[in-house]
Amino acid sequence: MAKRIDDLKVVGNKRITNDLFILVLSGNDKLPDFKPGQFVQARADGSHDTFLRRPLSIHDVDYDQNTFKLLIQVAGKGTFALSKLRAGDYLNLVYPLGNSFTLPDKNDRVLLVGGGCGAAPLLFLGKHLKSNGYTPNILLGFRNSDRIIEIDEYNETGNVFLTTEDGSKGEKGYVTSHSVLYNRRYDRVYCCGPDSMMKAVADYCRKHNINCEVSLENLMACGIGVCLCCVVDTVKGNLCTCIDGPVFNIKDLKW
């Protein structure tokens, strides 16, 4: 898919908590056919510390409105600069980047597992699965109920199950201890979130012979396969997370 570099208009910046927000961006031209799992590289203007673009997943796409969303957690100066954008501002992006999740086989029982802001690509993936005739189970974990993101949208996409670390909503604990992971059988699991969570889910899937794809969030600089700073050691050799990923099947990872 051809890459674009474009100034996109910010049409909204929805604050969820003091460190979580959703940017809604409008395309100048018709948006490309994004694939779930793909990401953008955003230029966060502001200081020399934010010279490198920041990778962010496509969170949701509305082709009727010609808009898409980025779900962002403030981690440092780049994401802080992005949090200050307001409707009417412009954000320079290189997009769409990376590979995508693969569709399950017909009749596969599907589970999506996401933790916190790491779950960003799962809403678009869930909608894509739904439009292809699947009704996935969606297991989402958050620190507490204030940080639950876009739950109504997820509910329209599949059967949602929640965990919170403080027990304020859903089962108390981490997604990796939720009963819906252990008490039901799955053929296909898609997972995004912190590495430790993805590794635990990958272990479970390996043990139970479940086809599983994870989306890696390795540090990136160029985002286009040039600098090699995002290399991941796989059974197929060293691969770039930015162009060979970010989505990998766990059978290819040396976890």
Q: Indicate if the alpha-carbon torsion angle 236, 176, 156, 147 is positive or negative.
A: negative
Tally of CA atoms within 13 A in the half-sphere of 242 that contains its CB: 22
**Which of ligand FAD, ligand FES, none does residue 199 bind to, with CB < 5 to 8 Å depending on kind?**
none
The residue whose Cβ lies closest to ligand FAD is 76
Interface region with ligand FES, contact rule CB under 6 A, candidates 76-84, 85-93, 172-180, 221-229: 221-229
Residue 113 — φ and ψ, nearest 5°? -125, 125
Contact with ligand FAD (CB under 6 A): which of 120, 140, 210, 239?
120
Q: How many residues bind ligand FAD (CB under 6 A)?
A: 21
CB 206 within 8 A of CB 250: yes
Shortest reach from residue 100's CB to ligand FES, in Å: 16
Identify which of residues 121 and 158 has a Cβ nearer to ligand FAD in the complex: 121
Looking at the chain, list the stretches that DSSP marks H as alpha helix, in order from N- to C-terminal side: 77-83, 122-131, 151-155, 179-182, 195-207
Shortest reach from residue 147's CB to ligand FAD, in Å: 13
Cα–Cα dist 174/223, whole Å = 31
Cα–Cα dist 249/38, whole Å = 15
Max Cα–Cα distance, the chain, nearest Å: 51
In whole angstroms, how large is the CA radius of gyration of the chain?
Answer: 17
Shortest reach from residue 192's CB to ligand FAD, in Å: 8
Structure tokens at 99: 């590979």
Cα–Cα dist 214/190, whole Å = 6
Residues 15-74 that bind ligand FAD (CB under 6 A): 39, 50, 54-57, 71-73
Terminus-to-terminus CA distance in the chain, angstroms?
30
To the nearest 10°, report the CA torsion of 248, 249, 253, 255.
110
Position 52 contacts ligand FES (CB under 6 A) = no
Position 223 contacts ligand FES (CB under 6 A) = yes
**Which of ligand FAD, ligand FES, none does residue 67 bind to, with CB < 5 to 8 Å depending on kind?**
none
Contact with ligand FES (CB under 6 A): which of 242, 247, 250, 253?
242
**Which of ligand FAD, ligand FES, none does residue 223 bind to, with CB < 5 to 8 Å depending on kind?**
ligand FES
Shortest reach from residue 45's CB to ligand FAD, in Å: 12
**Which of ligand FAD, ligand FES, none does residue 78 bind to, with CB < 5 to 8 Å depending on kind?**
ligand FAD
List residues near ligand FAD by CB under 6 A.
39, 50, 54-57, 71-73, 75-79, 117, 120, 217-220, 246
